[in-house]
Amino acid sequence: MRKIWVILGLLLANGAYAQQAPQYTQYIFNELIINPAYAGSKEIININATHRSQWTGLEGAPTTQTLSVDGASRNGRIGWGFNAVNDELGVQKQSGVYANLAVRLNLSETAKLGLGFAGGASQYTLDGTKLKPGSTKPDMAIPQGRETELLPDARVGLFFNTERFYTGFSVANLIPFKGEDNLLIATPRRHYFLSTGYVVDLGPNFQFKPSIMVKEDFESPTNVDLNAFILLSERIWLGGSYRTAAPLFSKPQEDYELNGRNAWAAIAQLYVTPKLRIGYSYDMSLNDMKDFASHEVSVGFYFFKKQDAHMMTPRYF
Digit-coded pLDDT (tens) for 228-243: 999 998 899 999 999 9
CB 270, CB 236: distance < 8 Å? yes
Note the pLDDT of residue 309.
44
Q: What separation in angstroms does the CA of 253 have from each of 80, 216, 273, 285, 289?
A: 41, 16, 49, 21, 20
d(CA 280, CA 2) in angstroms, rounded, equals 27
Strand partners, 121: 97, 152
**Residues 98, 104, 110, 111, CA torsion sign:** negative
By CB atoms closer than 10 A (0-12, 13-18, 19+), residue 142 is: middle
Buried b (16+ CB within 10 A) or exposed e, 96-121: bbbebbbebeeeeeeebebbbbbbbe
pTM of the model: 0.85
**What pLDDT tens digit does each residue of the chain (317 aa) get?**
444 444 444 344 333 444 567 788 898 888 999 999 999 998 889 999 999 999 888 888 889 999 999 999 988 899 999 999 999 988 888 999 999 999 999 999 889 999 999 999 999 888 777 666 555 555 555 666 678 888 899 999 999 999 899 999 999 999 877 654 555 566 678 899 999 999 999 988 899 999 999 999 888 888 899 999 999 988 999 999 999 887 777 665 555 555 556 899 999 999 998 889 999 999 998 887 788 899 999 999 998 765 554 444 566 88
Q: Which residue, among 70, 71, 33, has the nearest Cα to 51 in the 3D structure?
A: 33
Note the pLDDT of residue 96.
93
Instruction: Return the biggest CA–CA distance within the chain.
Output: 70
Alpha-carbon Rg for the chain, nearest whole angstrom, is: 20
CB 240, CB 267: distance < 8 Å? yes
Strand partners, 95: 86, 123
**Residues 149, 121, 295, 18, CA torsion sign:** negative
CB 261, CB 248: distance < 8 Å? no
**Which helix or strand (DSSP H or E) is residue 37 part of?**
none
